[in-house]
Structure formats: C-alpha cells, structure tokens
Amino acid sequence: MIGGAAMTTWTSVLSWKAIMKRSVMLSVIVLLALTTGSAQQTGGLEILVSSGVALPASPMSFSDYWNVQYGGSVGVGIPLSQSVTIIGAVEYFRFTLNAEGVRDRINTEYLRDTWLFNDVSLDPSADPSSVATFSANVRMSPSDLTGWLAPHLIAGAGLMHVSLSETFIPTTSAISPDGVDISMTAQRSIRGGEETEAFFQIGLGFDVRVSDALGVFVEGRYVHGLSKGLSTSYVPLTAGARYSL
Amino acid sequence: MKKFIIAIAFCGTIVLFPSCSRDLDPVSPASMNGQYALGIKALVPFAIGNTWIYDVVLYDTTGGERARYSFTLSVIDTVNADTNRIPILPPNTTRAYLTKDPNSLKWYRLQGEMGKITYWQIDGLENLRIRKNDDTLYFQQMVFDYRASVGSSTATSFLGADTAYWGSGDVVVMAPDSVRFQLVAKADTIRTTLGSAPYYKYWQSFSLRSDSINYYFKPGFGLILYEQFQRRADGTMVCVRRDKLDSYYFR
C-alpha cells in the first residue's frame, strides 16, 4: 500500500511537470498566433452557426441524470467596432436520460439490506429533456491583435425555456414468503417540469480567421437560469463558424 | 501579454464558477435515494393516495387455475368514526368513553376490489385494524396484533354476515362467524433500528367456516400476499385464491 502511494505521488509529480511544460509551450504558440499577421478588418453582418455539447451543472436531478444528445445554435452578429460585436442567438440542446447516473444515485442496496428483500432492481426511463435559449450577447476581442488567432469574451442574457421530463424509477423488489415469488414494483418518479426563465451567460472562446469573411471558433460558456424554481445551469462547449456578409 | 493573462484568468473563473451553484437543487430527490419515508413500524403505511395493485389468481378445488385478474387498493381519505352510530358496549352506559382517545376514531378509508370500501387503522399499539364501512358494525374488526409472539392468537371475535364481490364475477356469501388471527411466522429478526422484518404471516381461522386465510404483511409496505384456503371433502386444504402484490405507489 505504501509503495503504491509513493508511486502515485511520483506519477503525479511527473504529470504536473509535463503539464507545466506543455502549458508554457502552448502559451508561446498562442502569443505568436495572436500577434502575427495583418489586422482584422471590421466587416458587415455576421452569420454564426455552431454545435457541440452541453454539460448539465444544476439542479442535481439535471446534472446527474441527463446526458446531452445533440444541440447547437444559430446567430446574427452586428460588429460595432473592430473589437465589439453584438450577437443575437438561438440555441437548443436536447438531453437523454443517463440511466447509470440514476442507478448510481439511488441506493437499491439499502432496500435490499434494510428491508430484507431477496433482490432489488431499478429500471429508470424518461422522455428526452431540452433547453432552448434566445439571447443577446456582447462579444469582445482585443483590438490590437493582428494574428490569425484571437481570443474573445462573450457575455449575454436572455430567455431560457427548460423542459425537464419526469423520470420514472420503478424499483422492483423480490421476496418469497413461503416459497411464493413476489416481485413488487414501486411506482416512483422524480418530477420534472417546464419553466421559462431569464438567464445570463458568460464565456470565453478563440477565433481562427480562415479568410477575411470566414472564421471558425471554439467557445465555452456558463449558462445560468435566474429563477428560484429549477435554477438550471449548464456549460455549453461548442465549435462553429462565422461568416461576414 | 497583459490581455492574454486576463483572458486566462477569466477562463479559470468560468471553469470554477459552475461548481459554486450545485447545491441549489429544488427538485433534488434527496428523499428518494432509496430511504423510503414509510410508516416504519406499521404493517401497512397509510397516506392518502397510497395505492397497491394486486394480481389475483383463482383456483378450483383440484388446484387448476380458474381465473386471473387485477385490482387496485387505494387510500382515498380519512374519516372520523361517528360515535353516535357506534353501539355502546357494557358496562358503559354513555358514549363518552369512545372519545377518550380521539385518534382511535380516525380511520383511513380504502377502496378495493369491485369498489368495496373498508376502513383501516394502525392503533396505539401498532396493531392493524380493518372494519366494514358501517359504524353500527364498528366493533366487527379484524385485528392483526403487531406485537404478538409467534404462535399466539387474538381472542375470538364476532364477524357478521357479509357478501364479497370478486373481480371474477364470483359472489361469496359469508355467514356470521367467530374469527381469530394467529401470528404464524415472523421470518428473520429485526435487522436495523428501523424495525424491519421480511414479513409477518397471520392465519385467520373461523369457528364454523371450513376455510382459512393467510395474510402476509411486510412492515412498511403493506399486504404483500393473501391466500385463501378451502377444505376439500377428503379433509385436505387447497388454495382457492391468491393475491400477490404487483406494484405500489406511496406518496
């Protein structure tokens, strides 16, 4: 056990050094990319399309029980200056039930051990859930960067419609009084709900300029609903393209 | 360079921020992590809305299957027994003694097979009591003694004539009789401080009737198995009806 712990520590040190070295190298590359090339021109209207994943963060019944299935957004940007763009966007993500997550959270062993059943099984099911947003955002990029790679900050607010499906968690317990097999199923569920709420989002991304009109970007955001009900939050990680008309 | 450092710091903030809000969880099924909020010690957990669905199989006296159907038993509401309709038992001369313990007058109203209404109660001694819906028959109760030792029986009590309508279409007319309940088995021992046991088996027998009934209760869950036996001409007993709990819903 002691040897194992020492080896784990040594591995951690190696990993940390490797991470530090790679981070420094990455920083240098990024700085070169930011400062090499011609200045970005202020274009006309921008069309943005992106897709990616969304990692549910809260509430717990959202983060632990749901996995993203697909999603993406479309938007229109209006450049106000070389560094500031106003973006209106519509985004949609669809989620499917994470059955393993449900099983991990609900302790069927407790039922078996304490209530003395022969066996206990759990078979969760639910319709898909979804989150749709309509937002107005401000995207800010450093104006004096001349390279093909540019970071940007994005912040915005809008309306979010959350549809969290009811999760059915029928738990079947088996018992055999005097040899008669009984499988009794608890009809239980975790309630869902629908809610339209205000939300804000804030994030960071990187743009790669392909040509004067076309660019691609990656972006990570934190989206947080402002209601006291579901108080939904999630983290979209998306990649997309923008085209200046 | 300064802007780049600010950007990296901002990115770190974004990564850390979501972890601060995980506890805000109004729909958390914290009460549903397997630890049921059941009436721990009760033979039957009562709450308005609680529902049990039973699968019934009827057999003929040769053991052959005759019919199969399901019915639902639901807790509809609670009622207080009308003391004005409860017969006075000697040596009492007034109904005042009936109201000494108001809780003893509170019963759960259950609707079962073919819409049959019965009244159920867990009394102060944790015994399960079941009676018909007529207060003039208030004392014609079936009593399941929760604290009985295995092998002991309740005193015989009187049950008046009754007619049962089964989901199969059978009409079962029961003559007045004396009845008693014996705790036949209490499998295993209490394993935790919650007071749990696999099941309690009660045997209901009659003075005149030749049939008998086994009731299996699982504390915290309710009646899980009901077996009705009938005596054949050769004196052997054969199961003519078996109700198995199929599913349940507890509020």
Contact by Cβ (8 Å): A161, A198: no
CB-hemisphere CA count at 13 Å for B101?
7
What value does the mean pLDDT take over residues B159-183?
Answer: 89
CA distance A2 to chain B (A): 33
pLDDT, position B15: 40
Gap between the Cα atoms of A221 and A206, Å rounded: 12
- Percent of chain B's residues with pLDDT above 70: 79
- Chain B residues with CB under 8 Å of A204 CB are 7, 10-11, 14
In B, residues 62-121, which contact A (CB 8 Å cutoff)?
none
Place of tokens 């609900």: A106
CA distance A45 to chain B (A): 26
Burial of B8 (0-12, 13-18, 19+ CB in 10 A): middle
Q: What angle do CA A138, A140, A141 make, to 5 degrees?
A: 155
pLDDT, position A5: 37
pLDDT, position A71: 96
Q: Write out pLDDT tens, residues B73-129.
A: 999 999 998 888 888 888 888 888 888 887 888 999 999 999 999 999 998 888 999
Query: Which of A114, A64, A102 shows the shortest CA–CA distance to B33?
Result: A102
Look at residue B5 and tell me whether its pLDDT is greater than 80: no
Give the range among A66-70, A226-230, B29-33 with minimum mean pLDDT. B29-33
- In sequence order, which ranges of chain A are alpha helices (DSSP H)? 2-35, 60-63, 99-105, 108-114
Output the pTM of the full model: 0.72
Gap between the Cα atoms of A207 and A215, Å rounded: 7
Q: Is the interface score ipTM higher than 0.85?
A: no
> Are the Cβ atoms of B28 and A60 closer than 8 angstroms?
yes
What value does the mean pLDDT take over residues A193-217?
Answer: 93
Most confident of A75-84, A203-212, B66-75: B66-75
Q: Write out pLDDT tens, residues A102-122.
A: 888 887 887 777 777 888 999
pLDDT, position A95: 96
Contact by Cβ (8 Å): A88, A60: no
Look at residue B136 and tell me whether its pLDDT is greater than 60: yes
Look at residue B28 and tell me whether its pLDDT is greater than 50: no
- Percent of chain B's residues with pLDDT above 90: 38
Assign A2 a pLDDT band (cuts: 50, 70, 90): very low
Look at residue B177 and tell me whether its pLDDT is greater than 80: yes
Structure tokens at A193: 């709900």
Amino acid making up residue B204:
Q
Give the range among A77-91, B5-19, B202-216, B223-237 with minimum mean pLDDT. B5-19
Calculate the dihedral angle through the C-alpha atoms of A139, A143, A145, A147, rounding to the nearest 10 degrees. Answer: 60
Look at residue A142 and tell me whether its pLDDT is greater than 90: no
Look at residue B181 and tell me whether its pLDDT is greater than 70: yes
- Chain B residues with CB under 8 Å of A110 CB are 33-35
- Chain B residues with CB under 8 Å of A231 CB are 21, 24-26
- Pairing verdict, β B157-159 and A129-140: unpaired
Q: Write out pLDDT tens, residues B198-225.
A: 788 999 999 888 889 999 998 888 999 9
Beta strands per DSSP E along chain B: 51-59, 65-80, 106-111, 117-122, 128-131, 141-144, 157-159, 162-165, 171-174, 177-186, 200-206, 212-218, 222-231, 237-249
Gap between the Cα atoms of B138 and B118, Å rounded: 11
Burial of A175 (0-12, 13-18, 19+ CB in 10 A): buried
Q: Is A140 on the interface with B (CB under 8 A)?
A: no
Strand-pairing partners, residue A224, are A200, A233
Look at residue B30 and tell me whether its pLDDT is greater than 80: no
